[in-house]
Amino acid sequence: MLTGEGGILQNAREASDKTGRANAIEMAQLDVLEKQSSNEGKISDGQFIEILNRYFTDSEGNGITELKEDWPNLSLTTKDGKYSGILASEIYNGKFSGSTQSGSKKVDDLKNAKQLVETNTEVTSDDNVKVTVPAGFTIPEESPNTAIDGIIITDSIDETTGASTGNEFVWIPVNEDLTVVGTDDKFMAKVTLDQDDNGRTNYQGVLYEIDAGSYTHVPSDSTQWGQGTTAVREPDTVSSYDNNDNYLNIIKGILTGDEYNGKYDSMTTFKATMQEDYNEMIESVKTYGGFYVGRYEMGLEGSETKKAISKKGSATDATESKANTWYGLYAYGKTYENTNKTTKSSVKSSMIWGSQYDAMLNYALLGDDKGKVTATGNGYTGDSATNTGVTEKDKILNIFDLEGNHFEWTLEAYSTSLRDYRGGSCYDSLSPSNRDLSDPSNTYADSSSRLALYVK
């Protein structure tokens, strides 16, 4: 009765096996539901692959890198090897968003197509990094195929040669837990204890001092940085200036659309707007696995109505005094617009956040350009600011002018009267990892900023 065929112990073992198998499936199903709940019921094939790899291997004990046409019949084994023969369709058997259902698109597939994608499209780089290409963009011929070398997207393509003819941005991959891809301890953000008026989670940036490969919080005592302190922090206001209508009016004079009504009427609404923007950026990073950084320093283009651009050869020293203050550059950072009809709602732009800048540099430290991150002298151009993209001496991750040409304002706040800028300029031998402080109301001939995009 205990040990024979159909005995109590055998039945108990079989029941336990069935329970263990069901538990493994259920855990993965819950992760699918969680991903869908934060993304309007959608899940991409790349996100599904990430969930599968969390709990299973394929039948040969290998990780899952793609979903082929018959993916519902993919046979899975739990990572501890106890349960096998689990089908992917037992976990999820619906459609995927943001990419083809096969999940096998590569960087070269978009490069060879030589046309802008019509929907957000996920591709896999040759170094196995997921890249979400927003609607209305594509990967140009000149882009490398590996993320660590700086995969480029463009909003305009020569359909004969496949070369970029428009604004260019570089993908910075970030894991779902908000750590920089390839690391396990370089976080972009953390959850704050409060929520916004709509009950959504609030985040604040985790900022780093990067010095020859060492990483510390700014300041190193984590109790003395972040919101609620006067140290470096984001998102936050600086009361000495943001409480003054003269400076808020610079923003309101540039951002005149209905969607900006009430967002810059006071320091209180300004702070709430910055928090909302930061929350949206972080949620996008969690959903799509990264964000984009302008390949070039931010320029302005247009006659009556200027728009922010990220183009080689664009003049980044603003001609209007209001544009060259932090407030002007902050406002113009929101004005990037892809003129392709299909893409106007696929991305959102801003002046680069400090945590995005740090994530970019932390990722660069994993690649061949790591020596340039903390080096000095590569960006010196002879005491004269020039157009962005002219020199490749300080190009890092396929991104130009991170050390030289212009200092780059970020959204970091410090004390009650200062904003942070990063890198160096044509006048200084300062490393790309340099962080410095200045008065946001002043204009500086050697100051600009850099656009960042997140996928919507």
Task: Show the tokens assigned to 168.
Answer: 């260019």
pLDDT tens digits, residue range 83-126?
A: 999 999 999 998 887 544 444 689 999 999 999 998 889 999 99
Give the pLDDT confidence score for residue 351 in this predicted structure: 97
Instruction: Specify the pTM.
Output: 0.77
Q: What is the mean pLDDT of the chain?
A: 86
Amino acid at residue number 184: D
pLDDT tens digits, residue range 44-55?
A: 877 888 899 889
Give the pLDDT confidence score for residue 357 in this predicted structure: 97
Mean pLDDT, to the nearest integer, of 352-362?
Answer: 96
- The residue among 359 and 53 whose pLDDT is bigger is 359
Question: How far is Cα 449 from Cα 419, in angstroms, rounded to an integer?
Answer: 12
Question: How far is Cα 450 from Cα 296, in angstroms, rounded to an integer?
Answer: 7
Task: Show the tokens assigned to 113.
Answer: 């197509």
Question: How far is Cα 273 from Cα 270, in angstroms, rounded to an integer?
Answer: 5
Cβ-contact 99, 122 below 8 angstroms: yes
Give the pLDDT confidence score for residue 212 in this predicted structure: 53
pLDDT tens digits, residue range 4-26?
A: 565 544 554 455 556 788 888 99
Residues recorded for the chain: 456
Between 245-254 and 267-288, two packed helices, what is the crossing angle to 10 degrees?
A: 50
pLDDT tens digits, residue range 272-330?
A: 999 999 999 999 999 999 999 999 999 888 877 889 999 998 765 554 555 678 999 99
CA 226, 150, 404 angle in degrees (round to 5)?
A: 65
351-388 burial, b if ≥16 CB within 10 A, otherwise e?
Answer: bbbbbbbbbbbbbbbbbebeebbbbbebbbbeeebbbb
**pLDDT(453) > 80:** yes
Q: What Rg value do the Cα atoms of the chain yield, rounded?
A: 24
CB-side neighbour CA atoms (13 Å) of 412: 29
